[in-house]
Amino acid sequence: MPMYQPSMLDVGGGGQVLDLDTAVKDGILGGGGGVTATGAVAQKLDLKKMIEELNSIEVPPVFICPISLEPMQDPVTICTGQTYERTNIFKWFSLGHYTCPTTMQELWDDSITPNKTLYHLIYRWFSQKYLALKKRSEDVQGRVLEILETMKKVKGQARVQVLKELRKLVLNHASSKKTMMDNGGVGLMSSLLGPLTTHAVGSEVVGILVNLSLDSESKSNLMQPSKISLMVDMLNEGSIETKINCTKLIENLMMDNDFEFEVVSSLSLLVGLLRLVRDRRHQNGLQPGLGLLNAISSHVSIRNSIVSIGAVPQLVDLLPNLNPDCLESALSILDNLASLPEGRLALKDCPNSIPNVVKLLIRVSENCTRLALSILGAVCRLAPEECASIAVEAGLAAKLLLVIQSGCSPTLKQQSAELLKLCSLNCTATLFISKCKLTRTLQ
């Protein structure tokens, strides 16, 4: 909602500013054009409901209560000439204020007058907008139904064009989503995916499905190996938008309790996700790619496959440039892989693992610190004599002391103390003390 501007109305386009009286006289508020709310129809419309359903549109400032900055439903005017929502001005008075909230003038009269003219303007304006929105919604719903019928008849390029129109409707109109759900649209879209589906059709279908709320039955239908295989192919070969949509849809399917994780264990899917997260030309694929890879890595049976395609060094190299959300996903993946001997070995053999992870301690969030400590602990315990000196040289000992002194959880402090002890036992005292920057007393 816009900020309040006392007694003024900005009518947009031409930049003209009018007062309320002029707006009423010239018919700008509630004037001709658009859908009118008159007669029996007007009586059925509830102002509160209309305001709630139209909460995303810009409202003329003169309709806004200066106290709540929300549209007024029961405007009243006080002796200073300022108008407020009735409940808001009563609350102001109940708090012991005997001034006008806008002008701060002391009130010489405590009476209030219903502003019926403004109420009717507000009601008429919202009625017009509401009925116009309702009509557009009905038109959209009708067009969606037409498209669903047409989809059963057309093929080839004609099918692609119809799907493109349907996708635009789903993206831009909430009512189209409900129409799809209520009229078998999800099942129809799912039936279009299969081994013989072209990528042109498949990308449009996935672009539609990823914007719908899928129930368990719909998800189960989409989990068929042939459908997942098509999504994996498009993830590897489609446009960046198609890749992202396939990634989001597969992750959505994985949230179902009956999901069979064997369908996402293919090397082709894992390789496609790594390509997506490493694509520097299209950074918008980074977060969904890491999100799905993190979900997949949470299953022990698939972790070895992720390690085998060289995911560890590629993820380690990404760490310095990730935003907090992506960083947490990447660390979570590496922590999952560190539970395997192969994962720990890959981390140890990657020259950037320890330096890149050490830098993240107490830098982003407590959860990132927890994951970083877990990864560093796994690597250092694997080869303490080799890794301890590298870790301390990278600043680990000093960082661990900071964690111990911080407000982190007792568990993190205990893990830090244990890792600090491991480092002190496996590197020279000179190096350890110099990197910790200990005082002579502590020495």
Check which CATH number belongs to the domain holding 62 and give it. 3.30.40.10
CB 398 within 8 A of CB 435: yes
Looking at residue 8, what is its pLDDT?
Answer: 41
165 assigned to some structural domain:
no
Residue 16 maps to a domain = yes
Q: What is the mean pLDDT of residues 94-123?
A: 90
pLDDT beyond 60 at 169: yes
Q: Who has greater pLDDT, 118 or 440? A: 118
Model confidence band, residue 431 (pLDDT cutoffs 50, 70, 90) = low
Instruction: Please say if the pLDDT value at position 408 is more than 90.
Output: no
Q: What is the mean pLDDT of residues 67-79?
A: 92
- Is 34 domain-assigned? yes
pLDDT at site 430: 61
Are residues 195 and 236 in contact, defined by beta-carbon separation less than 8 angstroms?
no
More confident residue, 385 or 17: 385
40: tokens are 């029996």
Per-residue exposure over 111-136, b if at least 16 CB sit within 10 Å of its own CB, e if not: ebeebeebbebbbbbbbbbbbebeee
pLDDT recorded at residue 242: 95
At residue 245, the pLDDT reads 96
**Pairing between β-strand 9-10 and β-strand 113-114 as defined by DSSP bridges:** unpaired
Helix (H) or strand (E) holding 251: helix 240-254
DSSP 396: H
Residue 21 lies in a domain: yes
Q: What is the mean pLDDT of residues 194-204?
A: 93
**Lowest mean pLDDT: which of 218-227, 346-355, 430-439?**
430-439
pLDDT given for residue 78 in this prediction: 92
pLDDT for the residue 77 = 93
Residue 22 confidence (pLDDT) = 52
Mean pLDDT to the nearest integer, 333-355: 94
**pLDDT of 213 strictly over 50:** yes
In this prediction, residue 76 carries a pLDDT of 93
DSSP labels for 67-102? TT-SB-SSEEE-TTS-EEEHHHHHHHHHTT--B-TT
Residue 379, pLDDT above cutoff 80: yes
Total of domains in the chain: 1
- Domain residue limits at 111: 9-131
Most confident of 3-17, 43-57, 142-156, 223-237: 223-237
Q: What are phi and psi of 10, to 5 degrees?
A: -90, 115
Cβ 285 vs Cβ 279: under 8 Å: yes
Does residue 282 fall inside a structural domain? no
> β-strands 83-85, 75-77: how paired?
antiparallel
279-320 residue pLDDT tens? 989 989 999 999 999 999 988 989 999 999 999 999 999 999
Q: Is residue 288 part of a domain?
A: no
SS3 category, 60: coil
- The torsion angles phi and psi of 279, rounded to 5 degrees, stand at -75, 100
> What is residue 57's predicted lDDT score, i.e. its pLDDT?
78
Check whether 13 has a pLDDT greater than 50: no
State if pTM tops 0.85: no
Q: Is the predicted pLDDT of residue 441 greater than 90, yes or no?
A: no
Q: Whole-angstrom Cα distance, residue 324 to residue 327?
A: 5
d(CA 279, CA 281): 5
Residue 34's pLDDT is 39
- The mean pLDDT value for 46-65 works out to 83
Phi (first) and psi of residue 272, to 5 degrees: -60, -40
Has residue 138 got a pLDDT over 90?
A: no
CB of 101 closer than 8 Å to CB of 65: no
Asked if residue 397 lies in contact with residue 436, where contact means CB atoms within 8 angstroms, the answer is yes
pLDDT tier for residue 261 given thresholds of 50, 70 and 90: confident
Residue 336 included in any domain: no
Percent of the chain with pLDDT over 90: 43
User: Going by C-beta distance under 8 Å and a sequence separation of 6 or more, which residues neighbour residue 78?
Assistant: 84, 89, 100, 107, 109, 111, 112, 113
Has residue 266 got a pLDDT over 90? no
**Model confidence pLDDT, tens digit, residues 384-403:** 888 888 888 888 888 888 88
Supply 133's token pair.
Answer: 């929105």
Mean pLDDT, the chain, whole residue set = 83
Per-residue confidence (pLDDT) for residue 420, from 0 to 100: 87
pLDDT of 341? 94
H or E stretch covering 166: helix 156-172
Residue 88 domain flag = yes
